[in-house]
Chain A
Amino acid sequence: MISNYEMVVGLEVHVELKTETKIFCSCSTAFGAEPNTQVCPVCMGMPGTLPVLNEKVVEYAVKAGIATNCSITRNSKQDRKNYFYPDLPKAYQISQFDLPLCQNGYLDIETEQGTKRIGITRIHIEEDAGKLIHDLEKGTMIDCNRCGVPLIEIVSEPDIRSAQEAKAYVQKLRTVMLYAGVSDCKMNEGSLRCDVNLSVRRKGDNNFGVRTEMKNINSFQFIGKAIEYEFSRQVEAIERGEPIIQETRRFDADDGKTYSMRLKESLSDYRYFPEPDLCPIVLSEEYINEVKKTIPTLPDERKAIYIKKYNLSKSDGEVLTSDIAIADYFECAAEKTAYPKLVANMIQAEIMAVTETDNFKCNINPEHMAALADMAGENIINSATVKKLIKRMWEKDFDPVRVVEEEKLQQINDESAILEWVEKAIAENPKSVADYKKGKITAAKAVIGKVMAASGGKANPIIVQKLVERELGKI
């Protein structure tokens, strides 16, 4: 039954910009300070105070727009969005209504069916609200530190058709924002938050169904869960003949379900009007070009280069460009070796295993990594040695060429020398030999291991394997 339906999903992603100061005053935006210590009369909305736009906010939003292929609005303005809530000191949020800074962009995501383009309707700037802290004894308290922290809201087209696509889109968006350097995009600190708009329709139907909105979902996992739950909930409701109500629903991370919030909140009329305390935002072509120059090469373009120039697979490209720090590191090392593919492997297998996700930091000088790749590529050292060296270099970086030389770690390719170890290993391990003879092919591995150990890990594993199999076959 559910297979007769498809979901139509659009996402609104709020990204906190990492400016030093707030959008309309000079208070700090640092996360995690004592409540109400990063406030002033302006962000507290005290009578008579006025906003002054932080130009960095415009610059970052324009960067985000360019990075997501948007056109930049040359003449935009800010508007007031009016509503009462205790965390909103002015009782209006300064946002943008009909003239957002960026419009008509897109991002390409990888899906099982190949590359898919997700449209971006608009990106606008706005101020964040404060935080309510509910305390059983003291009641509800307000922390205004976050009031006036700059945000961009990135609104996608309803192009998304699955939870996977939604996650891939947010992942991609996050990567691009990190590349552009406009936000640290930490979902756990709320600097990237996601609202999901979802409706369902019968496959083949071109009309949209009635949509619900799920606000402030703060992890990739929850985005997927919320979408999947809400999709089946709506399908089941339709199958039962119940109408879908346009409403805001709350996603409960504990039970993975969505719950209706009071209808009132989704029916509010925000009474938008142009913010009279601020001037229109007028951007010149030169300004936009200047901002453009500050954006590093973006992941899609880099991926294409990696595939073409370094002969990497699409999935290697995907992984290496998922974080600009990885991509930059890879490029540095790849430029200095004849074996970039080996660098790619080493980064993925050895470095990414030990470094924090989202915080790629490699202690090893990329030139040393390149030298390592060269030695491996030229069969001077074997993969076991590469592994060992990386482990040691991670602790304390050094020039691997020198150490290989000093410690004589060169791979041993001399077949006669290796054969001696092979014969010895076979003689000393009759059990493995017997197992092998009984048809337990894997028993050869034990023998290989002994040979490698005897060589101090330096024997060429391919030759070892060849000789072990040959000698075992003779028995």
Chain B
Amino acid sequence: MINRSVYEHYIALNKREYSSVELTKAYLEQIEKKDKKTGAFITVTADGALDAAKKYDEGKCRKSVLAGIPVAIKDNICTKGIKTTCASKILQDFIPPYDAFVIEKLKAEGAVIMGKTNMDEFGMGSTTEKSVYGATRNPLDYNRVPGGSSGGSAAAIAENEVAYALGSDTGGSVRQPAAFCGLVGMKTTYGSVSRYGLVAYASSLEQICPLSRTVMDNALALNGIVGHDRRDSTSVCRKYSDFTIGIKDGVKGLKIGIPKEFFSIGINESIKTAVWLAAKEYEKMGAELVDVSLPNLNSVLPAYYILSCAEASSNLARYDGIRYGYRTDDYISIEELYRKSRSEGFGWEVKKRIMLGTMVLSAEYHNQYYKKALKVKNNIKTEFNNVFDKCQIIIAPVSPSVAYKIGGSENPMRDYLDDIYTVPANMAGIPALSLPCGVGEEEMPIGMQLIGPAFSEALLYRAGYAYENRGKAGDI
């Protein structure tokens, strides 16, 4: 039963085919069996999960779609009374006295929280190797990475350790792991899911996002966490309708843009072909393909790193060893306490980005880097707006390559450059759905992205569902 989708569990639980406790136990057994190898979890909350499952079985919680079904949470999302480490030594023992907004929502839905998943430290990375807890492995090939930074969440699903999971996406951290593990990941519109309780990396770019096995599951999961929260000032106050409404309506007449820039930069041939073929499938289903262009795509990636590192340098400054988190043993002055706690508590990648961010914000470089990057961010928004005058959604690859070999990152620039297709949606604040579109080298999955204007999640799910279920009888 553990390889079933959220939707299938929902049906089965309702028919009492199995109980939530039975389901939860089955997943816990799988974690027990597999996770030593996979390393998807940092913390497994078996007791809490079983309590929640029991509550469901005893009818003590809402019978919502997500009720009674196990979910995993990326370890940068605060969970009351449960360690939230961001896979960093500096927060290794941090237990938040509060839940993130999304956790409150999930608990209210009756979800069964299985634990906290591994990630690149503070979300900085795209392989889930840069964790103080060690690398997470890709369940489809243990010698490969699951992608990152939400690699633990993706691996947990791919390993059948949970039905779905939450991750966070700052520059592709949900969509790329989805692509690497053959899953579905939605980077939601900036402001649609509250960031309250998400440990900040780059505040203006990131969102908490669902990862799942199917498009339908993803829509169901997003239903559970979306919504206005007055504790997040960037949370948009609007009403969200059920994302599954009209999900099976198909793509007839849908105008899909093909931005040529997304198919030209250092992309692996098999991936290019797979996305092209997917576009052709859409055409067969009645969609119309149009050529579009985002001429300044090349400047988006450096601007993204400038902005994300700038914000990170400020967001991570609070980890100073004073109030909580790691503190060095040996110091004689406050400066030394700061310096040593931070030097010992942060990993190399985090330190690198903090230094980069500190530099681009310094008086000397502010105009040259930070200000310019902000301009690029505004420009890309305009470029996307122009594109969405010509088409309703865009189709694009997620990553220039399939999942990398573990330890293969000899050139740190590769990881940075590989964000090129995912970063634009974060910079523009618009939604992007990552879903599988075939297999590439050594049978590793390939992902494609459907990108739409702000708050077009329902449309993206509809298009994603159509592709995922193409050729299937009945439903479509």
Mostly, the B contact residues are loop
Question: In the complex, are the beta carbons of B195 and A269 less than 8 A apart?
Answer: no
**Cross-chain contact A82 with B94 (CB below 8 angstroms):** no
Beyond contacts A80-B314, A142-B322: 13 other A-B pairs, Cβ-Cβ < 8 A, are: A41-B97, A48-B96, A48-B98, A48-B100, A48-B196, A48-B200, A52-B233, A86-B334, A91-B318, A92-B317, A269-B362, A273-B311, A276-B202
Q: Which of B121-136 contact A (CB under 8 A)?
A: none
Cβ-defined contact, A84 with B361, below 8 A: no
Tell me the bound Cα distance from A278 to B98 in angstroms: 21
Distance between Cα atoms of A277 and B197 in the complex (Å):
13
Given the interface pairs A89-B318, A271-B358, the reply to whether A47 lies near B233 with Cβ below 8 Å is: no
Interface 0/1 of A77-92, CB less than 8 Å to B:
0001010101001111
Write out the residue numbers on chain B whose beta carbons fall within 8 Å of the beta carbon of A53.
233
| 8 smallest beta-carbon distances between A and B, as pairs | A91-B317, A271-B361, A276-B204, A276-B203, A48-B197, A47-B199, A48-B78, A48-B199
With a cutoff of 8 Å between Cβ atoms, the chain B residues found around residue A273 in the complex are: 310-311, 314, 361, 366, 370
Is B231 part of the binding interface, using a Cβ–Cβ cutoff of 8 Å?
Answer: yes
* B322 engages A47 (CB within 8 Å): no
B181 at the interface (CB under 8 A from A): no
Interface presence of A50 (CB below 8 A): yes
| Chain B nearest CB, measured from A471 CB (Å) | 83
A interface with B by C-beta (< 8 Å): 41, 44-53, 80, 82, 84, 86, 89-92, 142, 269, 271-273, 276-279
CB-CB under 8 A from A86, the residues of chain B are: 320, 322, 334
The answer to whether A50 and B232 touch across the interface, beta carbons within 8 angstroms, is yes
Contact A50 B317 (CB under 8 A): no
Q: List 13 A-B contacts (CB under 8 A).
A: A41-B96, A45-B318, A46-B96, A47-B84, A47-B86, A47-B91, A48-B197, A50-B232, A51-B233, A52-B231, A86-B320, A86-B334, A142-B323
Q: Is the CB of B323 within 8 A of A44?
A: yes
B362-A47 in contact (CB<8A)? no
Q: Is B178 an interface residue (CB 8 A)?
A: no
Q: How far is the CA of A272 from the CA of B338 in the complex (A)?
A: 21
Q: Would you list which residues of chain B between 52 and 105 have a CB under 8 Å from chain A?
A: 76-78, 84, 86, 91, 94, 96-98, 100
Flag if B334 contacts A82 (CB, 8 Å): no
Closest Cβ of chain A to B448, distance in Å, is: 30
Bound complex: CA A21 to CA B120 (Å):
38
Q: B78 touching A90 by the CB < 8 A rule?
A: no
CA–CA, A424 and B410, complex, Å: 118
Check: B268 CB closer than 8 A to any chain A CB: no
Most buried by B among A47, A84, A92, A272: A47
In the complex, what distance in Å separates the CA atom of A144 from the CA atom of B234?
26
A48-B100, A50-B233, A52-B231 are contacts. A91–B311 as well, Cβ < 8 Å?
no
Measured between beta carbons, the chain A residues less than 8 angstroms from B197 are: 48-49
Interface contact A89-B323, CB-CB below 8 Å: yes
Write the B310-345 contact mask toward A (1 if CB under 8 angstroms, else 0): 110110011010111000000000100010000000
The reply to whether A48 and B198 contact each other, CB–CB distance below 8 Å, is yes
Chain B min CB distance to A317 (Å): 46
A271 to B198, CA, bound (A): 24
B interface residues (Cβ-Cβ under 8 A, vs A): 76-78, 84, 86, 91, 94, 96-98, 100, 195-200, 202-204, 230-234, 310-311, 313-314, 317-318, 320, 322-324, 334, 338, 358, 361-363, 366, 370
- Residues on the A chain within 8 Å of B100, using CB: 48
Once the chains bind, are A82 and B317 in contact (CB under 8 Å)? yes
Is the pair B233, A279 in contact by a Cβ cutoff of 8 Å?
yes
Residues of A within 8 A of B358 (CB): 271
Closest Cβ of chain B: how far from A98's Cβ, in Å? 11
B368 to chain A, nearest CB (A): 14
CB distance from B203 to the nearest CB of A (A): 4
B residues less than 8 Å from A89 (CB atoms): 318, 323
- What separation, in Å, do the CA atoms of A78 and B195 have in the docked complex? 19
CA distance A269 to B370 in the complex (A): 15
Please name the residue on chain A nearest to B94 by beta carbon: A47
A152 shortest CB reach to chain B, Å: 20
Q: Is there an interface contact between B338 and A279, defined as CB atoms closer than 8 Å?
A: no
Which residues of the partner chain B approach A142 to less than 8 Å between Cβ atoms?
322-323
Residues in A neighbouring B233, C-beta threshold 8 A? 50-53, 277-279
Complex Cα gap A279–B366 (Å): 21
Q: How far is the CB of B375 from chain A (nearest CB, A)?
A: 13
Distance in angstroms between the alpha carbons of A397 and B141 in the assembled complex: 92
Q: Which of B84, B318, B370 contacts A90 (CB 8 A)?
A: B318
- Looking across the interface, which residue of chain A has its beta carbon closest to that of B334? A86
Contacts of B199 in A (CB 8 A): 47-48
- A47 is contacted by which of B203, B232, B318 (Cβ under 8 Å)? B318
Count chain B CB atoms within 10 A of each CB in A53, A84, A90, A271 and give the residue with the most. Answer: A271
B234-A279 in contact (CB<8A): yes
Tell me which of B84, B197, B358, B362 has the highest count of chain A C-beta atoms within 10 A of its own C-beta: B197
* Cβ distance B201 to chain A, nearest Cβ, rounded Å: 11
Judge whether A49 and B196 touch: CB under 8 Å.
yes
